[in-house]
Amino acid sequence: MGLVGLAAWAGGLLVAAPGRLLGAGAVLLLVVLLLMWGALVTTRALRRGRRRSWTSLPAWRTTALACLLAMLAVLVAGLVRADRVAGDPVASLASEGAAVTGRLVVSTDPRPMAGARSDGVFLRAVVVEVSGRGTTWQVRSPVLVLAPASWADVRLGSTVALAGRLQPTEEGERSLAAMLSVHGEPVVLEQPGAWWRATEVLRASLRAAVAHRPAPERVLVPALVAGDDAGLDPRVAEEFRATGLTHLLAVSGTNLTLLLGALLVLARLVGVRGRGLLVLGLAGVVGFVLLARTEPSVLRAAVMGVVGLLALTHGGGRAVRGLGVAVTVLLLVDPTLATAPGFALSVLATGGIVLLGPRWRDALARWLPRWLAEAIAVPTAAQLACTPVVAALSGQVSLVAVVANLLAAPAVGPATVLGLLGGCVGLVWPWAGRLLGTVATWCVGWIVEVAHRGAGLPTAAVDWSTSGAALVALTALTVVLAWRGPRLVSTRARGAASCVVLVVAVLVRPPVPGWPPDGWVLVACDVGQGDALVLATTPGHAVVVDVGPEPGAVGRCLDDLGVSTVDLLVLTHFHADHVDGLSAVLGSHGVGEVWVSRVLDPADGARSVLADAAAAGVPLHPAPYAGAWRSGATRLQVLWPTPGEPGTGPGDGTAANDASVVLLVEVAGLRLLLTGDLEPPGQAALARTLPDLAVDVLKVPHHGSSYQDLGWLTGLGARVAVVTVGEDNDYGHPAPSVVAALESAGARVLRTDTDGSVAVVAGEAGPSVLTTR
């Protein structure tokens, strides 16, 4: 049955893969050929068999036939679906960008839009009626709705009148028929049904039970129980990502397995047995789906959660069959899942728990109590099974994820169950709900601590090539570890040795040979899409300019450079890609002083920087215009912003960028210009005040965006230009035109996305560079 699931998946891949590997005609031909082969095999087997019944077929033939049928069924389902999408009037109206009216049913809670356009909300909905080009259609087309802020209070499940413009979805987006931009106040035609209102009350009670506790715990409890992560601090989310704990924030099969497990333990305690347990378990699943919303990811989690539960209660064989059935059914319902990363991870994690979990548990149980063996085996098995796919998606392998999941796992069950109980009990006795909620937030506090500590470790994630050979090697390594691993932990002595190896691997980061080079004066750290620059001053000391989008990367960069004290920290402006790594620098390095931009925009970013500096007791000032600062042989001067610059702008981030602190650094005979995200108006103003500015090294403004005063940039005469930019960023940075212009002006252009961290070394003949890649 496990094989049948795989076959079904193969069918889904055939039809749903990007670019559709096969056209409809070829698929039909394949279907006919496979059916003929199947019929031939069956009839021959039947003829040979004495009795004319299915049971006389050899086992492998039954399996092969079942596989074939599953694959064909998913193939056909995929074709039917693709056909329906192609004929969907909403999709065809969208391809013309048509203005439409009609009705839609809201299927997710409205969420504020992230980023600069923060005055609107987005939500998913199903269009049930659409009018455009003089015709009206009754449809059921899922769309993504972009709406004004007045839609923030529209409730899930309600039917709303729509008036707006349809647009095509992004390439490769198959779960949506179109994007819909609506305007005006929402007109609610029908309120949500009683079930939705009831779950809304429960969700509100859940939030109320933990409302008196500090963030992020009070946000994380509803996220764990019902996938309700509205208002989660992006830094905490990033720490969870870095430590492989993100699956806890979304509704996942693991959460449901834990909830159901606890429910069944309680039921057994009060004497429920046999069929009663099954009914109770199913009721639990239905309640969970209603509570966490019938989004596709929730339904998927529900199915996987049930399979996981089967593995815990009935052991491997039945659970493998269950997983095969689950995969086949899910793919029949939605063949596009075959190429969805979330689906692959969810199936692999469940498969890992089902296939590897028992072996690891039994090995550990030889010398550990069974409950502890299980608590270690389940997350280890899930992590191992997911490792190759996670590496393919992120280009990283994380040992810390294994350890973090091991440490967090014991707290997940109690936090989820207590949070849910708190919500239920709080409906009747709010004080008792708060009491339970408080204990739930203690458990969550432990998980937050694990994520926070884990994200700061030197080897939080190791880069892994996503080339085919590298991934095959990693898969082979994982398979060997998965099968031989249980032997490595089957005795107390071996277990202890494995522990030591793991701890050393997590805590000790292998040095990069030759890094940092002797005589480095500037290092642009590879922190992804964002800035983090380090200027050498005296041994162990440095000036840091910006701290990147997350603490882990800048922390590792400073550790590699041997920087223990940051005499001066300059934050050029308050965008997340420049300030969100702050805790890594404030937390573990002595910081003398912080200089910031005078424009406190965006307000959230500025507020949290001011709060963090105050909490760390570090003095913070606006960067003094024309102010100079000296340490060792390094001298720096603030060139921008001038005191008269306006502090407000169009509010789309331009004003904040243009108020970036610009520094001229002089060290070892080199002149370096560090420009933050300075935009053309600021660049032009700088050109007016300092017409003769010439430098050796340029930090290219705004990650190499195409929006530059190219005449000024190329006129600086830099021989080395460094672009701080993340791989595959969504902004198209750096612009090829900017790179080309700098190169033709005689600069050597280095990029942190392809070169890794970049060190500039002062030499006899000017600047030279060394990179980590």
**Which CB atom, from 334 or from 677, has the smaller least distance to Zn ion?**
677
Q: Which is nearer to Zn ion, 229 or 577 (CB)?
A: 577
- Rounded Cα distance between 349 and 439, Å, is 29
Beta carbon of residue 702, minimum distance to Zn ion (angstroms, whole number): 6
In the numeric block, which tokens belong to residue 160? 């709303």
Question: Could you tell me the smallest distance in angstroms from the CB atom of residue 111 to Zn ion?
Answer: 24
Stretch that binds Zn ion, among 56-64, 166-174, 327-335, 675-683 (CB under 5 A): 675-683
Min dist. Cβ of residue 550 to Zn ion (A): 14
Q: How far is the CB of 723 from Zn ion (least distance, A)?
A: 11
Beta carbon of residue 673, minimum distance to Zn ion (angstroms, whole number): 16
Radius of gyration of the chain (CA): 29
Cβ at position 428, least distance to Zn ion in Å: 50
Q: Among all chains, which residue has been given the structure tokens 């609107």?
A: 120
Q: How far is the CB of 703 from Zn ion (least distance, A)?
A: 6
Q: Quick one: which segment of 290-298, 410-418, 575-583, 610-618 binds Zn ion (CB under 5 A)?
A: 575-583
The CB-of-561 to Zn ion minimum distance in angstroms stands at 22
- Give 495 or 641: the residue with its C-beta nearer to Zn ion: 641
Which residue in 577, 709, 753, 755 binds Zn ion (CB under 5 A)?
577
3-class state of residue 544 by DSSP: strand
Q: How far apart are CB 705 and Zn ion at their closest, in Å?
A: 9
DSSP 243: T
The Cβ of residue 344 has, within 10 Å, a number of other Cβ atoms equal to 18
From the list 566, 520, 564, the residue with the least C-alpha distance to 546 is 566
Of the pair 228, 577, the CB lying nearest Zn ion is at 577
Q: Which is nearer to Zn ion, 677 or 709 (CB)?
A: 677
Closest approach of Zn ion to the CB of residue 551, in Å: 17
- Give the nearer residue to Zn ion in terms of CB position, either 147 or 750: 750
Q: Which of residues 429-488 bind Zn ion (CB under 5 A)?
A: none
Instruction: Give min distance, CB of 657 to Zn ion, in A.
Output: 7
Tell me whether residue 144 or residue 599 sits nearer to Zn ion (CB atom): 599
Q: Min. distance of Cβ 223 from Zn ion in angstroms?
A: 28
Q: How far is the CB of 707 from Zn ion (least distance, A)?
A: 12
The nearest distance, CB 556 to Zn ion, in angstroms, is 20
Contact call for residues 535 and 665 (beta carbons, < 8 A)? yes
Q: Give per-residue burial for 363-384: e unless 16+ CB within 10 Å, then b.
A: bbbeebeeeebbbbbbbbbbbb
Is residue 580 involved in binding Zn ion (CB under 5 A)? no
Residues 243/455, Cβ–Cβ less than 8 Å: yes
Phi, psi (deg, nearest 5) at residue 575? -70, 150
DSSP string, 537-588: -STTEEEEE---SSHHHHHHHHHHHT--EEEEEEE----HHHHTTHHHHHHH
Number of alpha helices (DSSP H) and beta strands (DSSP E) in the chain:
27, 25
Element (H, E) at 84: helix 59-86
577 vs 753, beta carbon nearer Zn ion: 577
Cβ proximity to Zn ion: between 88 and 531 the closer is 531
CB 586 within 8 A of CB 612: yes
Stretch that binds Zn ion, among 228-236, 322-330, 376-384, 577-585 (CB under 5 A): 577-585
Does residue 677 touch Zn ion according to CB under 5 A?
yes
Region from 303-311, 464-472, 569-577, 741-749 binding Zn ion, contact rule CB under 5 A = 569-577
Piece of 29-37, 255-263, 306-314, 676-684 that binds Zn ion (CB under 5 A): 676-684
Residue placing its CB nearer to Zn ion in the complex, 405 or 608? 608
Q: How many residues does the chain have?
A: 773
Q: Rounded distance, CA 743 to CA 746, Å? A: 5
Query: Cβ closer to Zn ion: 549 or 756?
Result: 549
Q: Which stretch binds Zn ion (CB under 5 A): 325-333, 489-497, 570-578, 736-744?
A: 570-578
Stretch that binds Zn ion, among 344-352, 370-378, 677-685, 708-716 (CB under 5 A): 677-685
Q: Which stretch binds Zn ion (CB under 5 A): 47-55, 301-309, 672-680, 731-739?
A: 672-680
CA distance 654 to 42: 70
| Residue 128 Cα distances to 30, 119, 371, angstroms | 36, 27, 50
For Zn ion, the closer CB: 679 or 696: 679
Tokens of 514: 């030759």
Q: How far is the CB of 677 from Zn ion (least distance, A)?
A: 4
Judged by CB under 5 A, does residue 679 bind Zn ion? no
The answer to whether 751 touches 521, Cβ cutoff 8 Å, is no
Bridge partners (DSSP) of residue 766 are: 763
- Token output for 294: 């019938």
In 429-467, alpha helices (H): 430-455
Instruction: Kindly indicate which of the ranges 176-184, 217-225, 433-441, 674-682 contains the residues binding Zn ion, using the contact rule CB under 5 A.
Output: 674-682
- What is the identity of the amino acid at 650? P
For Zn ion, the binding residues in 275-334 under the rule CB under 5 A are none
- SS3 of 23-56: the string is CHHHHHHHHHHHHHHHHHHHHHHHHHCCCCCHHH
Sheet order of strands, 670-674 included? 628-631, 634-640, 662-667, 670-674, 697-699, 720-723, 748-751
CA–CA separation, 367 and 5 (whole Å): 36
- Let me know: does 63 contact 3? Beta carbons within 8 Å: yes
- Name the DSSP class of 356: T
Which region among 29-37, 65-73, 508-516, 670-678 touches Zn ion (by CB under 5 A)?
Answer: 670-678
Min dist CB 311 to Zn ion, Å, is 46
Q: How far is the CB of 572 from Zn ion (least distance, A)?
A: 8
Element (H, E) at 101: strand 99-106
User: For residue 221, what are the CA distances in angstroms to 206, 215, 448?
Assistant: 8, 10, 11
Binding residues for Zn ion restricted to 151-210, rule: CB under 5 A: none
Q: Which amino acid is at 333?
A: V
Q: Which is nearer to Zn ion, 419 or 641 (CB)?
A: 641
**Which positions from 19 through 38 interact with Zn ion, judged by CB under 5 A?**
none
- Per CB under 5 A, which region of 188-196, 263-271, 459-467, 576-584 contacts Zn ion? 576-584
Phi, psi of 315 (to 5 degrees): 85, 175
C-alpha to C-alpha distance for 522 and 520, rounded to whole angstroms:
6
Q: Interior CA angle at 493 toward 491 and 494, to 5°?
A: 65
Give the total of residues touching Zn ion (CB under 5 A).
2
Give the DSSP per-residue string, 489-508: TSSHHHHHHHHHHHHHHHHP
Q: Which is nearer to Zn ion, 445 or 681 (CB)?
A: 681
Smaller CB separation from Zn ion, 601 or 677: 677
Q: Which of 386, 387, 365, 385 is nearest to 376 (CA)?
A: 365
The residue (of 666 and 677) whose beta carbon lies closer to Zn ion is 677
Residue among 374 and 580 whose Cβ is closer to Zn ion: 580
- Scanning 55-63, 125-133, 443-451, 572-580 for contacts with Zn ion by CB under 5 A, the matching segment is 572-580
Site residues, Zn ion (CB under 5 A) = 577, 677
